[in-house]
Amino acid sequence: EAHKESHGFQTEAKQLLHLMIHSLYSNKEIFLRELVSNASDAADKLRFESLSKPELLAEDPELRIRIEFDKEEGTLTITDNGIGMSRDEVIENLGTIARSGTAAFMQQLSGDQKKDAHLIGQFGVGFYSAFIVADKVDVFTRRAGLESDQGVHWECSGEAEYSVENVDWPSRGTRVVLHLKEEAKEFADGWRLRSIIKKYSDHIAIPVQMLKETPAAGEEAPAAEGEEKVEKAPEFEAVNAAQALWTRPRSEVKSEEYKEFYKLVSHDFDDPLTWSHNRVEGKLDYTSLLYIPARAPFDLYQRDAARGLKLYVQRTFIMDDAEQFLPLYLRFVKGVLDSNDLPLNVSREILQKDRNTDAIKSALTKRVLDMLDKLAKKDADEYQKFWDLFGNVIKEGPAEDFANKEKVAKLLRFATTHTDAEKQDQSLEDYVGRMKDGQKNIYYVCADNFATAKSSPYLEVFRKKGIEVLLLTDQVDEWFVGHMHEFDGKPFQDVAKGALDLGEAETDEDKAEREKVEKESGALVERIKEVLEGRVEDVRATTRLVDSPACLVVSEQDMGPQMRRILEQAGQ
Ligand code: ADP
Ligand code: MG
């Protein structure tokens, strides 16, 4: 029996639905991309399940998506023969949002529609985008493997609640019926729909079909006399190329297509900064398409945030967010990996143990680092955008990925005394190129903010001698230099730590002066030592300072102030 029930939306779902209805009207047409991509995901899931249950696919093996419209009724219908949903799944998937980071996302919403629209873009607009153009949505669906009386009808025409009931449904898969709003009736139009599908869904791997345009009345051949006019079954044709984009040769894929595909895999609204598409044959056999976003996700620093690549094995979709193929410090990378080496029945657990996983991870890591290096060389401005967004994450690299330390080091950008500006735009190679004769170290100062770093008394002698110092003011910096140790054979040296050693950059004159100061201050130093006894480890005369009378220095082995603060915050 039908058993029709009304349900209220989960709070988060309600909020998202509300936003969908009220803030995305400037970019209406994306609803079709979302619904087609859901249909395509449903086909992927069915193919995946049919690996162990071939009968699921067998009854209707040609996976496809169909789009139909009715101008008079003002409806638009998207039908797939994918995995479908059971009653419980419908309630779970269409009535709640279970994605990780949902709460954090909701907190960031500002009420400013423009800003929020951008945020939703990052979060993924998804199914509810249907309500940008429709005031009522019907979903008819049947889970693959269930009987025809296990069909489900979901219906929603407002922000508050939806209903579900069981219905007879003849076939596997899902049909979404949009009852278009008055101002969205334009979408019940063949030409318009075809152009949107071309634009957003050309690279969907299965056919997106529409009815063949019938010739206008009059052009049709008249039925010969005596011959009965038979109603022909409507004929569908594919509107998209229906070939997975990454399987095509690089030379045949246009930039525009790469960009659209990026939006599909990343849920981003904007174009990516750059990408790298590669087919690898030989010991390993895989195709990868990796993108660098032009925008940082809202959950970049959240431990449980979804990350990773879309994984396919021999063109069969296996999973989203396969995080095993890139290190954590490259977690902003989006894209696809299609492997011919991994088994089709691969799971996250198997992935962790498979030898190929590490080999691919190491190859993809290099690929990303090379792609960034190339971007830095080709277009400094674009690279600067990247650094401003993700520099702090890249700085996690030396600690996590010892093997690629040199490659990562070349990607780093710093604020230094060379420009004395806050912008982090100087590379270590730049720094080394400007080192003084005899200078052995790469000097840096750590501080909480740029103004403090720049006016640090520790810098006085360096400024006087024209020796460049890196101005480190990010939270991760002290921890990060601790793992860098050196670049190009030159050790990193904190200007605030230990005795001042300018190496061979110290001239004879400097040396004479230092010795003179040390001798002359002997008595004074002794007095200060007495006064401060038990509160400091040592008192020394120094030529480190030019204008300031005194400064505190931590010893070489001690933690710096930033590190102390981090540990204090962690309750240690
Ligand atoms: P996402 O696709 O990012 O998971 P959506 O809001 O687009 O989020 O969809 C929510 C969920 O609803 C999907 O994860 C899927 O489980 C289910 N769903 C949506 N459309 C379909 C469909 N055509 N066939 C089967 N399941 C679907
Ligand atoms: Mg979706």
Burial class of residue 501 (count of CB atoms within 10 Å of its CB; 0-12, 13-18, 19+): exposed
The predicted structure's pLDDT at residue 568: 67
State the sign of the Cα–Cα–Cα–Cα dihedral 131, 134, 136, 140: negative
Q: What string of H, E and C letters represents the secondary structure of 257-318?
A: HHHHHHHHHHCCCCCCCEEEEEEECCCCCEEEEEEECCCCCCCCCCCCCCCCEEEEECCEEE
**471 has pLDDT over 90:** yes
The predicted structure's pLDDT at residue 324: 96
Poorest-pLDDT segment among 68-72, 332-336, 523-527? 523-527
The predicted structure's pLDDT at residue 489: 95
For ligand 1, whether the C-beta of 42 sits within 6 Å is yes
Q: What is the mean pLDDT of residues 70-91?
A: 97
Looking at the CA of residue 128, tell me the nearest atom of ligand 1: 6
| Atom 11 in ligand 1: residue holding the nearest Cα | 93
Q: Report the SS3 class of residue 320.
A: strand
**499 has pLDDT over 80:** no
The pLDDT > 70 percentage for the chain reads 89
* Other beta carbons within 10 Å of 481: 20
Note the pLDDT tens digit of each residue in 134-171.
999 999 999 999 999 999 999 999 778 999 999 999 99
For ligand 1, whether the C-beta of 127 sits within 6 Å is yes
Q: Calculate how far, in angstroms, residue 97's C-alpha sits from the geometric centre of ligand 2.
A: 11
Place of tokens 């200078």: 439
| Atom 9 in ligand 1: residue holding the nearest Cα | 127
Q: Determine if residue 427 is left, alpha or beta; phi over 0 gives left, psi from -120 to 50 gives alpha, anything else beta.
A: beta
Best residue for ligand 1 mutational test, from 16, 32, 41, 97 (most atoms within 8 Å of Cβ): 41
**560 has pLDDT over 70:** no
| Atom 18 in ligand 1: residue holding the nearest Cα | 38
Best residue for ligand 1 mutational test, from 24, 36, 38 (most atoms within 8 Å of Cβ): 38
For ligand 1, whether the C-beta of 78 sits within 6 Å is no
Q: Calculate how far, in angstroms, residue 347's C-alpha sits from the geometric centre of ligand 2.
A: 22
Note the pLDDT tens digit of each residue in 30-70.
899 889 999 999 999 999 999 899 999 988 999 999 999 99
For ligand 1, whether the C-beta of 124 sits within 6 Å is yes
For ligand 1, whether the C-beta of 34 sits within 6 Å is yes
Note the pLDDT tens digit of each residue in 279-316.
999 999 999 999 999 999 888 888 788 899 999 998 88
Which pTM was predicted? 0.77
Note the pLDDT tens digit of each residue in 167-209.
999 999 999 999 999 999 999 999 999 999 988 888 888 999 9
- Kindly indicate whether the ipTM for this predicted assembly is greater than 0.95, answering yes or no: yes
Of the bound ligands, which one is closest to the alpha carbon of residue 123? Answer: 1
